[in-house]
Amino acid sequence: MRKSWMVLAGCLFVLTLLIGLFFAFSDSFGQTSENDMDQKDFLEDKKAAVYFSTTADQDMDGKGKSFAVFFDKMGTPNTFEMKGLELGSIGVKDGKVLLEDKENFYSIANGFRKIRKEEYQHTGDHIGYLDQKNGFYALYNSGYDKESGGYRSDYYWEEDGEFKKGVIPFFIEASVMHKGTLYTLSSSEDEKTYKISEVKIGEETPPKTLFEIKKNENSTTFGQLQADEKNLYFIRQTGNITEMVKVDRKTGEKTFTKVASYSNDEETLYKQTPFSFKRCVFLHNEDLYFIDGFGDVYRIQTGSGESVKVFSLSEDSMAGSLETFYRDGNLYVFSINHEDNSAKIEQYSLPEGRKSGEMLIKHFPELNTFNKKVYLYDFVMLQDLK
């Protein structure tokens, strides 16, 4: 009996050792270090990047994780591990990349810099670029402020190579940067109206409320605000009706036009909620595009309000998680199937309404561990697929 126990113990030891070696090897495969990103040519062969992170509740023990996964021109992934940040983002502009976690920014631009945030953040919103200051900005859902007794949204902006912090004293449902002004959409305290405000990033002037819009009961906004030279646009869902809201920035005149309607049952309304919550609305020339949870892409003429479904995303891309990215009339879709960890990037021409390219990702890494699960939160293209 004792001999049997010794054999069993020996087998368990060998099995534990093999499992440890397997995970050690898996963790080291395709890893990117700060030294790697400090090389001036690091981004030269990188086509795209995605951001995964644990949720804020998984970071209560301080052991949350996030990952930026870069893909080269062959579709080979390389992973950079950071601390967690739910709804974290990747910023990209003219060969420059900004990564983030709850405590730091990571700048990749002819070298690498790690910049400590002034204050810990638990939930991101988005990273954009402020041309007037020639630097990135980052917006956060920062939660309840004990000092003011209200909600707050912190933001950081880059100026002369340094990041500075500001505060917006309300929760932001959607926003857009247009010619140096951040336009925000928020709800009143009684949830009966939307408020459109303007924020001057990096200036001491407080946010200014421009217009108020009656908010229908149980309305939900999808995507970010969009802006052209005259108007602001956003997509909202009320019941089974999705509509475009257009607001003249000078006069405050409001126009409401139906984009799509759905069966008025709970299952359908749940399924039509966009997979890519941050990036499901895009403005191209004089047309607004909206992608619903079924993968249907609608084109809305901003002048007439006429709406038409122009194409649908591929069925296999809808089988797992996906994020989208828009640039120069092209819609890029990153999708990952969680059953077999297969991933790919597809390119669609918005004006032509057709698929125009695809890149398969080779051996996408397993990012989940036995006690931490990460989610896809952002996707950016660094170069065209071609």
CB contact at 8 A, 123 and 141:
yes
pTM: 0.90
**Cα–Cα distance between 269 and 154 in angstroms, integer?**
32
Chain-centre distance for alpha carbon 37:
22
CB contact at 8 A, 354 and 373:
no
Check residue 12 and give its pLDDT.
Answer: 52
Quickly tell me which residue has 């939160």 as its tokens.
377
Residues 6+ apart with CB under 8 A from 352: none
pLDDT lower than 50: segments of the chain = 1-3, 7, 9, 11, 14-29
Give the DSSP H or E segment for 238.
strand 231-238
pLDDT per residue as tens digits for the range 80-90: 999 999 999 99
pLDDT per residue as tens digits for the range 324-375: 999 999 999 999 999 999 999 999 999 998 999 999 999 999 999 989 999 9
**Cα–Cα distance between 345 and 334 in angstroms, integer?**
4
Chain-centre distance for alpha carbon 147:
30
Check residue 134 and give its pLDDT.
Answer: 93
Give the DSSP H or E segment for 300.
strand 296-301
**Cα–Cα distance between 92 and 107 in angstroms, integer?**
10
Length of the chain: 386
